[in-house]
Chains A and B, each alone.
Chain A
Amino acid sequence: MKKKVIGLIDGQSGNIGSINKAIKDIIKGKPYQLKIIKSHFNYTSFDKIILPGQGAYATLMSNLKKLKIIQPLKKYLENNSSYLGICVGMQILSDWGYEDKTTRGLGIISGDIKKFRNKKLIIPHMGWNTINLNKDDTVITNSFDMKDFYFVHSYIFQNIKKSDVLAFTLYDQKFPSIVKKGNIYGVQFHPEKSHKHGLNLIKNYILKS
């Protein structure tokens, strides 16, 4: 049987060690193989792509540009191929990011990435917070409803269509914590740092989507 190919993009935006290890543990003994993407790639040769990210929107976009990853990634996503974006890896699915400077995103899920509204809020939103499901699917099953995940971010998805929001979280204001459009998923939290529920989410994404 032909193995399914999972691409893990190293956008030089934080450490990919934990997510790399989580994926390897999940696919051990199963018909999958993991490839690290660090430069231009053939978008038709991947079944799934995961992009973890930390830090700033503009930094990740400029890293991906330098690595010549933007163009194939855009084609891959426009094809509605399977994708999981983590934190900034989710945020760059939007049209625009307003962190540090205004940066054009991949434009896959319409909306902008802007700061939390309340200027008195403790920022970054750092720690474990609850996700509330609007609807479930094979990856984001009901079992994740009201569970805690680990967040570290200061910017949130705004002006997003309600139908693209799978789950929201409350930190002074409601914000999208899981977005989905077709086969494209994005999570604002870090599943690779979110203990068993986080690992289950990655597992579901790999094995059930």
Chain B
Amino acid sequence: MLKTRIIPCLDVIKNKVVKGVNFKNIRVMGNAVEMAKYYSLSGADELCMLDINASYQNRKTFIKTVESIAKVINIPLTVGGGVSDLSDITDLLNAGADKVSINSAAVKNPKLIRQASLRHGSQCIVVAIDGKRYKNKMKVVIKGGREITKNELITWAKQVQSLGAGEILMTSMDTDGVQNGFDSNMLKKVTSNVRIPVIASGGVGSLEHFYLGHLTKSTGLLAASVFHSRKYKIKTVKKYLNSKGVPVRL
């Protein structure tokens, strides 16, 4: 039986994992390579890392960090943040990423999804979608939720699937960072309208939240704070899910 994937997410600047809201009060949580290695060894099913400050100067160090991480883990690695064109995708895959996640660039230029999936295969193209409720509608937002696009969430999710995305990384900006649980309602809307895998992201604070995330039919559950702060070990989450009858890799 296919297992529900538990995916720690590293927000990275250069080679450091950081935590911070909208670039304010940025706190260094640890060295990215060390943390990646730790998660791979302690039972993570996949790893996600995002360049959250993809400036020209920081990018080179970030790519080196991707290379170093790819060398020390042997689970799949998804890399995103600051991906704006096909050459960025090629650079990350060459650095050792198994999948590349595209967000704003896909919204601005949807053709990029098709071009990328034709060149590298759908299986390595993840489209990250940030969703937010606005005037009673679920909309796609970019720039960390600061810019609301004209795209309606479900229409966009279906569109990225038809353009060849292999997976959707779905973050609700209404629940992200609050630790009150995933946005079940938004996730269910997405999973019931596409048939590519959906990774749930944004809002995990307790063990039960992981279970509720599974109930949305998301096949991957992504979390950052609860792992980085050592509130839960990956094993703890998996044992809990297993006890609730959710298939996990133990």
Q: Given the complex, which residues of B lie within 8 Å of A128, measured CB to CB?
A: 2-3, 5, 45, 249
Contact partner of A14 (CB less than 8 A), chosen from B71, B74, B121, is B121
| Residues of B in contact, count (CB < 8 Å) | 29
CB pair A198–B93 under 8 Å, yes or no, is no
Q: Given the complex, which residues of A lie within 8 Å of B219, measured CB to CB?
A: 122, 126-127
CB pair B5–A17 under 8 Å, yes or no, is no
Q: For residues 19 through 76 of chain B, which have their beta carbon under 8 Å from a beta carbon of chain A? A: 40, 45, 70-71, 74-76
Q: Given the complex, which residues of A lie within 8 Å of B196, measured CB to CB?
A: 122-124
CB pair A195–B40 under 8 Å, yes or no, is yes
CB pair B124–A54 under 8 Å, yes or no, is yes
Complexed CA–CA distance, A130 and B2 (Å): 7
> Which chain B residue shows the least CB distance to A147?
B249
> Which chain B residue shows the least CB distance to A196?
B74
Centre residue among B94, B96, B123 by max chain A CB count within 10 A: B123
How many pairs, one residue from A and one from B, have CB atoms within 8 Å of each other in the complex?
87
Indicate if B85 sits at the interface (CB-CB under 8 A). no
CB distance from A175 to the nearest CB of B (A): 12
CB distance from A103 to the nearest CB of B (A): 15
Q: For residues 161 through 218 of chain B, which have their beta carbon under 8 Å from a beta carbon of chain A? A: 166-167, 195-197
Q: Given the complex, which residues of B lie within 8 Å of A121, measured CB to CB?
A: 195
Indicate if A36 sits at the interface (CB-CB under 8 A). no
CB distance from B111 to the nearest CB of A (A): 19
Q: Which residues of B contact A (CB under 8 A)?
A: 1-5, 40, 45, 70-71, 74-76, 93-94, 96, 98, 120-124, 166-167, 195-197, 219-220, 249
Q: Report 25 cross-chain contacts, Cβ distance below 8 Å, ordered by A residue.
A: A14-B124, A15-B96, A55-B121, A59-B121, A121-B195, A122-B197, A124-B122, A126-B167, A127-B2, A127-B5, A127-B45, A127-B197, A127-B220, A128-B3, A128-B5, A129-B3, A150-B75, A151-B2, A152-B166, A170-B1, A192-B74, A193-B98, A195-B40, A195-B75, A198-B74
Given contacts A18-B74, A120-B195, 9 further A-B contacts (CB under 8 A): A54-B121, A54-B124, A124-B122, A124-B166, A126-B167, A126-B197, A151-B2, A152-B123, A192-B74
